[in-house]
Structure 1
Amino acid sequence: MATEATGAVEAAPGMPQLDFSTFPNQIFWLIITLVAIYLILTKVALPRIGSVLAERSGTITNDLAAAEELKLAAVEAEKAYNQALADARAEAQKIVAEARAEIQADLDVATAKADAEIAAKSAEAEKAIAEIREGAMASVTEVATDTAQALVAALLPSAKDADVSAAVAERVKG
């Protein structure tokens, strides 16, 4: 049995890749396979990859150029916007100043009119007060004269009414 097992080991073929008798055949097919892979890569795959890379490079370059143009356009638009904003602010300030001046002029006119009305009413009131004062003074003088005449007549029946009236008028004046 041991001899059979030993014979089986010798008769059993080993790995065909390591069999030196098949090396020339393996080298031939290796060269054929490598040449086929080389031809497929150089004629089919690499040109496609190259065209895709060239297209991507062109697209990236075009996109970068377009982005730069858009950036310049955005900068110009921002400058125009800032200028328009500054112009609008200046115009608004001008309008506000004009409105303030107009309102101040209207206010000055209204104030002058109110002052004139107040002065007129004040003059009328002073005139009315003066008239009332004169009327009151006349009434006070009359009452004082009547009272003084009655008192003097009761105390001194010989006194003249004209003298009493003159004395009362002098006393009321000052």
Structure 2
Amino acid sequence: MFVTPAYGQEAAPADAGADTHAGTEVPGNAAHEGGGFPPFDSATFASQLVWLAITFGLFYVFLKRVIVPRLGTILDTRAGRIQQDLDQAAKLKGEADAAVAAYEQELAEAKARANAIGQQSRDEAKAEAETARKAVEAELDKKLAAAEGRIAGIKASAMKDVGAIAESTASAIVEQLVGKADKAAVAAAVKSAG
């Protein structure tokens, strides 16, 4: 398929006095007839630089008067909030440190009281043990004295019986050896030996 350029046809004017023209071409600007991109046209550099300076100045004034103060306000608000948070944190840290110090003080006092109670309990137990020991010793001393008294009584009784047994044994030996023994002489001899 072939494409052929279309040309506009001129129609008979409906109006004899009107100059109408039909076509496909775009009306051009006399300054742009060189065919270049307008911002790169050296003939318009001066006006472009003026408009650049004006636009930059307006943008600078807008930044200085509107944007920077708002940013400064935001930064000041944030700095104030941060400082307030830091102050609050320092206050809470001080309270926490005070609570820790109070806790440690109470803990030290509780340990001291516990040690004092323990020492008092040990002293009381030692005193009770000493009292019980003395009571047991006193009772043992009484029993020992009673036992010694019984032993002395048994010893005295045994010694009394030993004398009688010794006299009868000595009399029996003398009778076996000599025949008849004198009881008074044998009793005097046993008493002198004992």
TM-score normalised to structure 2 length: 0.66
Identity percentage of aligned residues = 39
Deviates more, 1:156-165 or 1:44-53: 44-53
> Distance between the aligned counterparts of 2:74 and 2:188, measured in 1?
134
Q: Is 1:56 the counterpart of 2:110 in the alignment?
A: no
Pick from 71, 89, 98: which aligns with 1:76? 98
Which segments of 5 or more consecutive residues in structure 1 lack a partner in the other structure?
1-10
1:133/1:15 CA distance change after superposition, 3 Å:
farther
> Distance between the aligned counterparts of 1:112 and 1:132, measured in 2?
29
Which fold has the larger relative contact order, with Cα–Cα distance below 8 Å and residues 6 or more apart in sequence? 1
User: Which consecutive segments of 4 or more residues in structure 1 shift more than 6 A?
Assistant: none
Residue 148 of structure 1 aligns with which residue?
Answer: 170
Q: Is 1:132 the counterpart of 2:154 in the alignment?
A: yes
Q: What value does the CA root-mean-square deviation take over the aligned residues?
A: 3.0
TM-score normalised to structure 1 length: 0.72
Q: How many residues align?
A: 161
Q: Is 1:117 the counterpart of 2:139 in the alignment?
A: yes
Cα deviation 1:84-128 (Å, max 9, x = unaligned): 234334433432343233223312211211111110121122123
Give the structure with the higher percent helix: 1
Residue 118 of structure 2 aligns with which residue?
Answer: 96
Pick from 29, 38, 46: which aligns with 1:24? 46
Amino acid at match of 1:30: L
Q: Is 1:167 the counterpart of 2:189 in the alignment?
A: yes
Higher Rg of the two aligned structures: 2
Which segments of 5 or more consecutive residues in structure 2 lack a partner in the other structure?
1-33
> Distance between the aligned counterparts of 1:12 and 1:85, measured in 2?
95
> Distance between the aligned counterparts of 2:175 and 2:43, measured in 1?
182
Cα deviation 1:128-172 (Å, max 9, x = unaligned): 322332343234333322221111112222421232123213312
